Each structure stands twice: as structure tokens, then as C-alpha cells.
Amino acid sequence: MSKYYVNKFLYTVDRDPELLRRYKENPAALVASWEQSIGPRLNDAEMSTVNHLTEAERRALVEHDYVALFEMGAHFFLSLTMFIALHDEDWSARSGPLSFQREFARRLEHWLGKDYPTIAI
Amino acid sequence: MATLAAVLATTHHPFYLKATSAPPDQQIPQAAEWKRKVEAYRETLTRAEPDILVMVGADHFHQFFLDNYPTFMIGKAPRYDATFYNEEREFGLPKYVLEGHEELSGFMHRGLLDRGFDFSFSHELKIDHSIICPIITTRPDADLPIVPIYTNIFAPPLPSPKRFWDLGRAIRDIIDEYPSDKRIAAVGSGHLSLELGGPRQFGQTGPDPDFDRQAIEWLSTGNIDEILANVTHESMTKSGNATHGFMDLILMMGIAGPIAADYVDNLDLYHTMEAYFTWYPQERPA
């Protein structure tokens, strides 16, 4: 498991409007391209060779599966911000303000009263 | 020596500006009341006539990430850009450029090191909404030089609540020693109970209204003993997964000291309790 690398995906995509657009339109293609050329970037000059997504992490990202990401301990702020960017506008137009955020909460209801998976790495 | 003109501890709600500047027919029902309360709170800073603001917040993975996340950090730049693309996108926050106060930043950094707080530092820092939200609510003209201080309330492992209190006490000490006739106000933002990206987010109230009431009582009365006896990382997690921002409010009370606040207000919004505290530890303005 690479919680760090999942968070790096959320962090790098959420801050870039072009990557976000591609992640919304074709998540499988964006995740593949991210793993190849974006995830490994340490900075503008250096590449890192040490991080990899697991199959389950890759699937959760490709499927926009924020429940699975929560259960893997992805950072809640990164995950919420990213999925608001992907879905809030469509949900708001259809079902009113904050409807996506409430749906997000509803799909995690089975965690009420329990200790959440930790975001600590 | 410098005067500590005021200490403000506030929740930061990134949707304040959007909620209160939307056309009236699209505003949430509490918008007018929220605006009134924020403007009354702003007056508690204005009346203190500050010359410099020491601003306390936390970077929400905007400039800093898990490859290198500072526990405590001070900005030492002559100028600070503010508001990141994803904050404009999600919250509708405007961009700002804030003047820095390099001399006080340098004095503060040295003073912190001397008191056992080995701070990280940044000479190129872009400020996020944890500092821009209180600028919008308490000093919307953004016309004063700032000294930004960031804490880690966000990426575990976090420092203890006691450490936040002690840091506040150290900052107070350093402001008191600053050889200047300037009036310094400290303005910091955090949260009461808060859930983000979990099952209790965006409910009818904050995730733990009992904690919120208790926390307001503790901060109003300067009751650091009860806070340190009751508030732990685990207890904050139980109150909501993002409640750890409460520690920045503890830090602010640390700057004021274990004394009652001179101004306290709160507002029960649909998914958070907003709260506003001001202390005048040295002199109460007219």
C-alpha cells in the first residue's frame, strides 16, 4: 500500500485544472499517464523511482471511488476537495447546493460511531 | 517595547465571502446575521489600531505536501502572494498580495529558536485560506504588514495541545520583547468540531455540538487547565476528523494568556459552529 502516493495523486491533480479535466473525462487514461510521467517527478529536474500504486489503489482512483479511498486512509482534505471539483457542479445543478457533499457523507455512513481508517502514514 | 494591541482567535469558514456577497435571493438564510457578526468582530481589531499582524494558520496542502511538511514554520518574506487556484475554484476567494514585516519575522524566528522552538522558515511563501479568511473577515483592506506562522494541525503526527499553548506563550514573550513602538495584533484561525471527507460532514450542525459549547466556554474564560485536561488528539478525532484545528485556537489563547476573553461571539451554521474571540491582554481600547 502506498498511502503517500495516493495522496500525491490527489495533491498533484487537484491543483492543476488541465489534469482535473482529464481525470474527469477519462480517469483510466489520466491515471496511467500520471503513473508514467507525473507521479515519479520529485521536482523539475529529478525523478523518483521508489513509489508505486497498488492494484487496489489504482482501481479506486480510476473508478473515482472516494469510499475506497477513505477506507485506505487517503487524506480527507485532499479527497474531499478533489471530488468536489469533479462532481459538485453537476450535483448542484441537478439536486441543489451541497447535495454531492451529503451524498459523499451518506456513502460513508457505515463508519459512523467507529474509528475511521487512519490518515497517518 | 512593542504593544500587544489585541489577540484574535477565530474559526475560518472559506465560504464566508461567497455566502455574504451572493445576490440576496441566492444567499443562505444565515447570511445577513453572519455578516453582522463578522463586521462586529472586525471592529474588535480595528479599534485596537494595530500596525503589524502576526497571523497564525495552517497550510492545507497548498504549498506544502507530505514530501516535506513543516511542523511549525515562519514566513520571512518582504511580500506574500495569497490564494491558490483550487481555493479560487472551490471557495471563490480572491487573490491578494500582502506586505511582509521582515524585521519582526527575523526577530520572531530568532526568539523562537532561543526558546526551544526550532522553526522551519520560508522566504517564498504563498498564503492559503487559513490566513486569507481572517484577513477577509477582520482586515479586508489587507493594508498591514504580516508575519505568517504556520502550524501542523493536518498531517499526523501532530504536536500536542500543550505544545500549541507553549508556542503561544513563547510568541507572546517575543512580542513583549520586540524593541519597537509598534502596535502588534495576533490573529489566528482554526476550528471547533469539524468533519471533512467523512460521514459526519455537512450535517445540520457541526459534528460535535457539545464539544463546541464546551470549547467556547473554555476559550471565553481562559481555562487552559480544563482544555489540557480534556483535549487530546484522540478526543478531537472523536469530535470530528478535522477538529485538530482547535489547537490553533489554543495557541492564540496562549498569546493572550490564561485570561477571560474581552469579546466572544458565535454562530451556529449548517455544518460548523463559527466562533470569534478577542483578548486585549495589555489595554482595553476605548
Q: Report yes or no on A119 lying in a domain.
A: no
**Closest partner CB to A84 (pick from B67, B90, B242):** B90
Q: Which residues pair with B273 in a beta bridge?
A: B268
Report chain B residues whose CB lies below 8 A from the CB of A77: 60-61, 154, 196-197, 242
Domains of chain B: 3-279 (3.40.830.10)
Q: Tell me the H-state helices in A15-75.
A: 17-25, 27-33, 55-62, 66-72
Q: Say which DSSP state B94 is in.
A: P
**Helices and strands in chain A: count of H runs, count of E runs:** 7, 0
- Interface with A, mutate which of B65, B85, B152, B158 (most A CBs under 10 A): B65
Put simply, the answer to whether B197 touches A15 (Cβ < 8 Å) is no
pLDDT reported for residue B65: 98
- pLDDT class for A1, splitting at 50, 70, 90? low
For residues B189 and B248, the answer to whether their CB atoms sit within 8 Å is yes
Residue that has been written with the C-alpha cell 497548498 in this structure: B62
Contacts of A115 in chain B (CB under 8 A): 237
Amino acid B279: pLDDT: 98
Residues B65-100 as b/e (b if ≥16 CB within 10 A, e otherwise) read bbeeebbbbbbbbeebebbbebbebbbebeebebeb
What is the count of structural domains for chain A? Answer: 1
Of A4, A16, A70, the CB nearest to B197: A70
**Domain for residue A94, yes or no?**
yes
**Looking at the domain assignment, is residue A91 inside a domain?**
yes
Domain that holds residue A40: 3-111
* C-alpha torsion angle, residues B63, B66, B72, B77 (rounded to 10): -20
Q: What is the pLDDT, as a whole number, of residue B283?
A: 83
pLDDT at B25: 87
If you measure CA to CA, which chain B residue comes closest to A71? B198
Residue B154 has a pLDDT of: 94
| Bond before B157 cis per omega within 30 degrees | yes
**Could you read off the pLDDT tens digit of each residue along chain B, which spans 286 residues?**
999 999 999 999 999 999 999 998 889 999 999 999 999 999 999 999 999 999 999 999 999 999 999 999 999 999 999 999 999 999 999 999 999 999 999 999 999 999 999 999 999 999 999 999 999 999 999 999 999 999 999 999 999 999 999 999 999 999 999 999 999 999 999 999 999 999 999 998 999 999 999 999 999 999 999 999 999 999 999 999 999 999 999 999 999 999 999 999 999 997 899 999 999 999 888 7
Rounded to an integer, the average pLDDT of A60-73 is 98
pTM of the prediction?
0.97
Residue B125 is predicted with a pLDDT of 98
Query: What DSSP line would sit under B3-62, residue for residue?
Result: EEEEEEEEE--TTHHHHHHS-GGGS-TTHHHHHHHHHHHHHHHHTT--SEEEEEE---SS
